[in-house]
A and B are shown apart, each in its own frame.
Chain A
Amino acid sequence: MAKSRVLPAVLLTLLLAGASAGQAVTLVFEGEHYTWIKPSMRKGTDDGASQKGYVEIPLQRPHGEQEGEPFDDGSVTFKINIPQNGKYWLWARTWWYDSCGNSFFVMVDDMSPEIPTYITSTKKRKWGWVRGRQYTLAAGYHVIRFQNREDGAKLDQFLLTTAPEKWEPKRAYSETAQYLWQPEK
């Protein structure tokens, strides 16, 4: 497994045209530091994952060889505190098993969307970032859920950023845990 270098928590310098300078906001969350979890989603460990931890929909036996319905609605859910209004791109650092284990449903605030959104890519058997959608989020609390769509899919981190669309994350990033709500233990 290639070494991953953790880059410092980011506040990208973003210069807006005009007199004032603004900064891009990037929030980073570890998959295994969820607010809530529902089986079959479970935690796992891997040297290639940030902080060596991730969450996954475990591989089923037999693993689906054709596209079909997910076998359950296992999920991880995050309650996060967005610091300022903005348009945020979602990126997820994932590991896919194969062509039938390479996606998650993603819900933001609306947990029963009419048209489910999912993230997917063709990169398999290695950790890599996948772009999701751009969301307009007001400052305050929001709920983000990654839900079973195909078994064998793993989630290491995800981030929300107001950086330009051209910006792409590389490697793993330091967590911004201060923006994650956790229930009192």
Chain B
Amino acid sequence: MPPASQLTFFDDEVAAPYAVTGMMTVADPGAVDLQIIIDLDEESGSCYQLVARGATVELYEVVGQSHKPLGHPGTINWRTGQETSFTLRRDLWQIAFLYAGRVIVRGYDSELHGSRAGYLAQGCQLSESFVQVLGEMDMTDDFMRPPSERGPWEPVRGSWQLRGLRVDPLASRMEADKSANAFSYFAKGSDERALSIAGSWYWEGYLVEAAVRAVHGGAIGLVGYYQDEDNYVGVRWLPNGSALGSGELQVIEVVDGHERVLATAPGGYLHSQWYQMRMGVKAGLVCVWIDDQLRLTGKTTAFGQGKVGLLAEGNSGILFDDVVVRPWQVIWEDFAEDVPGKWNLLSGNWTISAPGAARVTSPSELIAVAGAQEWDDYRHQVQVSAASGAVGLVFGYHSPADYYLLRWAPSGSRVPYGGKAQIVHVVNGQPDVLAEAALGRAQAGQAAVTVQRGLVRGWLGGKCVVQTLEPELRGGAVGLYAEQASGASFASVYAQELPPPRTVHVVKEFADTGEHAEMAEWSSPAGIWVAPEERDAPEAQWQSKGVYFGGKEVRFTLHKVGSRTGTLRLTLDADPGSNVPGYTLSIAATSGSNTLTVALLAGERSLGQKSVEVAGKSCGVQFAHQGDYLIATIGDERIFCEKVE
């Protein structure tokens, strides 16, 4: 570690996530001696240190005299005499060094938070170096603009044009509010692959999705980690019977113009059918979803950051619409190799000996933690096998003194909770059992924990076996747990943020269909409701047209509290005309009073009643059925939280 006096510091104070980047020129590869220091705490001297000596590149966490390796050393092919880009990324958990767009070394750590960055370069020259703040990565495009405005897209190859309104010579009017896809981006790649690119060079860990439709034939695709037209990864989808290849979904990697197929899944697309295509890239993992179904997974070792793009092949043309780019918080581990520093073993030991699995070797307790996620809703899953003892998942980890467990053990285990699955909050070493359920025989296979709007559920073999509500649970790392389970093995760890729930938005004008009464049934915001025959009748009831499965929540604002006397009843999970009355939140108001009488009913059976004082003239109301819980909130106050069958 060089003394601070020898370092060239950047003026900016740094805080993850950020990247140090610039250009590098190497005359003699054998003479290179480069050190880049990031997250330096000037008082303690702790930092992350990248060391490039000759062709070897290594990454360390430096604390006091200790130099802890992060990741595996990398080998670099210096481009002698050429000014070449370099980047040292400091994401929230991942640290990666890239040269000429290629990942050379990648490590994982989130312990240090120093505020300085600098370097010492010998045997090479750095130029145009600066600190780039990362984060705030998002983009949407519905292509609603005149053709003269290109928007964020830069066509690289092929023909690209904005299309406004459907081209229909028989239509006497073309009105955007009558069309589901009035604007789109149309591509043709006649003799070559058409590419159009957007975003920033430093984007990493993102989902890019688009509505896609092939007019007739051709390849549809998305691009990520784009460096230039000869270097990127992507997804490519072909129809059955295509001249471009068999009907299948592909993850491809293009390096210096040479294309390689990393993974495939059978099944081509149907012509003239709209699909939602989504690709995620993070730390070399590439995942592909079609219409929300995970269809394909691949791994790339080439690139670690880059722009997004749209891909099209063929003469007929491909339509793209509703492009969305957003961060993708995901942790994945296939245990193909033991990456130093990736897993923090708080207690116990394991070996990654059999390719694709981590085997517990310690007889007592094992806790292994990874990640530094800022998510609220997520799913953490693993393939697990244990002949005896307890195994589990760690989640919501903030420190050794504060974390959660989903753990289970078969009957006859030596642990106190044999025969049970538990959700536990461990505080200062003391387990607080939040929920538990009886468990049959030993469970092997996939296990998962989901955290969604405070509802924590444990899943074994695809079945929810235990659940509880923890509204204060926020963020935290995830991990693996074993107790008295030497020989247990973990494989295929996958934790990802869950998307926000889809909403059906009802605006305040939902009852006003005066201008186009004939459209009321389908085109106005009231279209999702079946209106009562007499809207002003004392107990007029609006019912949703849709049938909603799984967890649901209704939110609205109650205005002018105290202005009139009346009762509002909001019912979930009802089936009119049958014997399923559902669950009802009844809110009774009295003229001249700010007090609401709120009742929760299962059918006509009362589950509780409370009085609520409303400050002001309006209040927000939320009524949700999540898992086994009914939750009602008025303003900021949770009124009911009842567990129901």
A15–B121 Cα distance when bound, in Å, is: 12
Point out the residues of chain B lying under 8 angstroms from A123, CB to CB.
138-140
Contact of A99 among B131, B132, B133, B145 (CB under 8 A): B145
Point out the residues of chain B lying under 8 angstroms from A21, CB to CB.
8
A88–B132 Cα distance when bound, in Å, is: 17
Q: Is the CB of A170 within 8 A of B133?
A: yes
A168–B11 Cα distance when bound, in Å, is: 16
A156–B13 Cα distance when bound, in Å, is: 23
A184 proximal to B (CB < 8 A): no
Point out the residues of chain A lying under 8 angstroms from B9, CB to CB.
13
Contact of B11 among A10, A128, A167, A170 (CB under 8 A): A10
A168–B139 Cα distance when bound, in Å, is: 15
B130 proximal to A (CB < 8 A): yes
**Chain A stretch 64-83: residues in CB contact (< 8 A) with chain B:** 67
CB distance from A156 to the nearest CB of B (A): 15
Q: Which residue of chain B has its CB nearest to the CB of A103?
A: B149
Q: Is the CB of B12 within 8 A of A10?
A: yes
B532 proximal to A (CB < 8 A): no
A59 proximal to B (CB < 8 A): no
Q: Which residue of chain B has its CB nearest to the CB of A10?
A: B12
Q: Please classify the interface of chain A as helix (H, G, I), strand (E, B), loop, or mixed, using the class held by over half of its residues.
A: loop
A7–B202 Cα distance when bound, in Å, is: 20
Point out the residues of chain B lying under 8 angstroms from A122, CB to CB.
139-141, 145, 151-152
Q: Is the CB of B130 within 8 A of A163?
A: yes
A13–B10 Cα distance when bound, in Å, is: 6
**Chain B stretch 109-150: residues in CB contact (< 8 A) with chain A:** 125-136, 138-142, 144-146, 149
CB distance from B258 to the nearest CB of A (A): 26
Known: A122-B151, A170-B136. Is A17-B130 also a contact (CB below 8 A)? no
Known: A166-B132, A168-B200, A170-B135. Is A15-B126 also a contact (CB below 8 A)? yes
B556 proximal to A (CB < 8 A): no
Q: How large is the interface on B (under 10, 10 to 19, 20 to 34, 35 or more residues)?
A: 35 or more
B25 proximal to A (CB < 8 A): yes
A15–B139 Cα distance when bound, in Å, is: 32
Question: Which of A15, A99, A123, A124 lies at the interface centre, i.e. has the most chain B CB atoms within 10 A of its CB?
Answer: A15
**Chain A stretch 8-33: residues in CB contact (< 8 A) with chain B:** 8, 10-17, 21, 23-24
Q: Is the CB of B128 within 8 A of A99?
A: no
B510 proximal to A (CB < 8 A): no
CB distance from B4 to the nearest CB of A (A): 15
A87 proximal to B (CB < 8 A): no
Point out the residues of chain A lying under 8 angstroms from B146, CB to CB.
67
Q: Is the CB of A166 within 8 A of B141?
A: no
Q: Is the CB of A14 within 8 A of B129?
A: yes
B201 proximal to A (CB < 8 A): yes
Known: A122-B151, A168-B200. Is A15-B141 also a contact (CB below 8 A)? no
Q: List 5 A-B contacts (CB under 8 A).
A: A10-B11, A15-B129, A168-B132, A170-B133, A171-B136
Known: A7-B13, A99-B142. 17 other contacts (CB 8 A): A7-B133, A8-B12, A12-B11, A13-B129, A13-B130, A14-B128, A15-B8, A15-B22, A15-B127, A17-B25, A17-B127, A24-B130, A67-B146, A99-B145, A168-B200, A170-B133, A170-B134
